[in-house]
Amino acid sequence: MIDRKGPVLIELEEVQAGGPQDAPPVPDAAELPQGQAMQMVATLGARRPNRLMRLFWSAVLGLAGLVLSLSAWDFVTGLLATRPVLGWVAAGLVGLVLICLLGIALREAAAFARLGRLDGLRREAEAALSSGDLAAARRVVGRLEALYRGRARLELGRAELARQDGEVFEAETLLALAEAHLLAPLDAMARAEVEAAARQVATVTALVPIALADVVAALTANIRMIRRIAEIYGGRSGTLGSVRLLRAVLTHLVATGAVAIGDDLIGSVAGGSILSKVSRRFGEGVVNGALTARVGVAAMEVCRPLPFGEGRRPGVGSLVKRALTGLFGQAGA
């Protein structure tokens, strides 16, 4: 037997290179995940209320309040006439209920006032930037420092801002310093809330097969996210304030067409289309999470006391990547 040393040539069958005609067809738009849950939430939240229905429900609530008030009055007066001790107990309980209702109303009014203060501060900052008025910018920074005076984690930023304040002679530079030293830590907290909400919506959409469960999860997660973002920036909102914020954010998104798939969601849609080959709900989960992140960024813009400076607005793609990486493999990357 001959012992051959050296290279051995093995001839393979000729493999023809594929051309454009061999590429798989591009999936139709209807086959791509569209984030139906978030689309429905946005549509419901941004729908203009019907005046007739609003009048109807106002009349129903007014009638119900009148009936309850008269019933409670008759009940208490009847007890006072027949059983004075029980009558005074019932009167005390009714008074306690009224005090609680008054406290709830005052809390909601205070929440609206806090949100209005943030809106006014942002408008003043925008006016100072557009006009270049340094005095107006200093007033805005002073109000901003007063707003965050009790925040322990912002003490170093406030001290650094006070140290550099005298060296600044331009409104834009002063507001940029305030944004860097006072709002940067708050922006990080708000981004974490957005990522958590996007992760929750994506998970529920992908794993819970119950009809409308993804819509309910998306609605509650977005309301909670917007409420937490408002609290982070100093505009702690009540129940009605949270609903108003959600409505304002979704109305803005629908009006600008931002709920539709855009350039900042191309990566998410690509990830969702790949996952939809395995499970349609996984693909929907990726896109719903991405749309939730977009709502979160809009909520930051609405609740933030200063407008985003150049390069500081968080990107939806990066938020989705951090939120969903590891949840569906590398989805959303």
Residues in the chain: 333
- What's the average model confidence in pLDDT over 133-149? 87
- What's the average model confidence in pLDDT over 139-150? 87
Q: What is the DSSP letter of 11?
A: -
pLDDT at res. 102: 92
Q: Is the pLDDT of residue 142 over 90?
A: no
Residue 278 lies inside a defined structural domain of this protein: yes
The two three-digit tokens of residue 157, written as one number: 């930023």
3 Cβ contact partners less than 8 Å away, ≥ 6 residues apart: none
Q: Is the pLDDT of residue 88 over 70?
A: yes
Residue 56 lies inside a defined structural domain of this protein: no
Residue 192 lies inside a defined structural domain of this protein: yes
pTM score: 0.70
At CA 286, angle to CA 256 and CA 274, rounded to 5? Answer: 115
pLDDT at res. 15: 47
One-letter amino acid of 3: D
Q: Which of 298, 329, 263, 281 is nearest to 34 (CA)?
A: 281
181 Cβ contact partners less than 8 Å away, ≥ 6 residues apart: 154, 157, 158, 160, 161
Residue 5 lies inside a defined structural domain of this protein: no
Domain that holds residue 119: 38-46+66-324
The two three-digit tokens of residue 174, written as one number: 């002063």
Tell me the C-alpha to C-alpha distance, in Å, between residue 215 and each of 42, 122, 156, 327.
10, 32, 42, 20
């304002």: which residue's tokens? 248
Other Cβ atoms less than 10 A from the Cβ of 277: the count is 11
Residue 132 lies inside a defined structural domain of this protein: yes
pLDDT at res. 40: 59
pLDDT, tens digit, 9 for 90 and up, residues 284-301: 777 778 888 888 888 888
Residue 173 lies inside a defined structural domain of this protein: yes
> Rg (Cα) of the chain, in Å, rounded?
29
CB 182 within 8 A of CB 140: no
Render 146-211 in DSSP notation, one character per residue. Answer: HHTTT-GGGHHHHHHHHHHHTT---HHHHHHHHIIIIIHHHHHHHHHHHHHHHHHHHHHHHH--ST
One-letter amino acid of 26: V
Tell me the C-alpha to C-alpha distance, in Å, between residue 94 and each of 105, 238, 287.
17, 24, 49
pLDDT, tens digit, 9 for 90 and up, residues 58-71: 889 888 988 988 88
pLDDT at res. 164: 83
Buried b (16+ CB within 10 A) or exposed e, 199-214: bbbbbbbbeeeeeeeb
Residue 21 lies inside a defined structural domain of this protein: no
pLDDT averaged over every residue in the chain: 76
Band of pLDDT at residue 96, cut at 50, 70 and 90 = very high
Tell me the C-alpha to C-alpha distance, in Å, between residue 295 and each of 61, 123, 243, 312.
32, 21, 14, 17
At CA 54, angle to CA 243 and CA 241, rounded to 5? Answer: 15
Judged by DSSP in three states, 13 sits in coil
pLDDT at res. 240: 73
Rounded to an integer, what distance in angstroms lies between the CA atom of residue 218 and that of residue 216? 5
Residue 32 lies inside a defined structural domain of this protein: no
pLDDT, tens digit, 9 for 90 and up, residues 71-84: 888 888 888 888 88
When divided into structural domains, the chain yields a total of 1
pLDDT, tens digit, 9 for 90 and up, residues 10-28: 555 554 555 555 555 544 4
